[in-house]
Amino acid sequence: MAETKARGGIAKPVTPSPELAKITGSAALPRSEVVSKMWEYIKKNNLQNPANKREIIADATLKPIFGVDKCTMFEMNKLLSKHMS
């Protein structure tokens, strides 16, 4: 019966903030897709700390989203939630 339930949680489309839209585009996307696009950006721009792959180093585009110079991949999801409505 769960299949008929309205989409919510990670599948619910969210609208990215203008800062986040620089990476994801401005269209509403499911949270899972936002996270996927973030990882594409992080890997493409080599922003993982080579000594600790769980740590993400913020560049000029990520800094306004994260509000910090670096964060862990677990903290990233919490920081991203402030930029999705």
- Residue 1: the pLDDT is 43
- Residue 8: the pLDDT is 65
| Separation CA 30–CA 37 (nearest Å) | 11
| Separation CA 17–CA 80 (nearest Å) | 10
Residue-level pLDDT, tens digit, the chain, 85 residues: 444 445 567 688 999 999 999 999 999 999 999 999 999 999 999 999 999 999 999 999 999 999 999 999 999 999 999 999 9
Domains within the chain, CATH numbers bracketed: 13-81 (1.10.245.10)
Residue in this structure with the two tokens 């950006």, named with its chain if needed: 41
Which stretches does DSSP call E strand in 33-79? 48-49, 52-57, 70-72
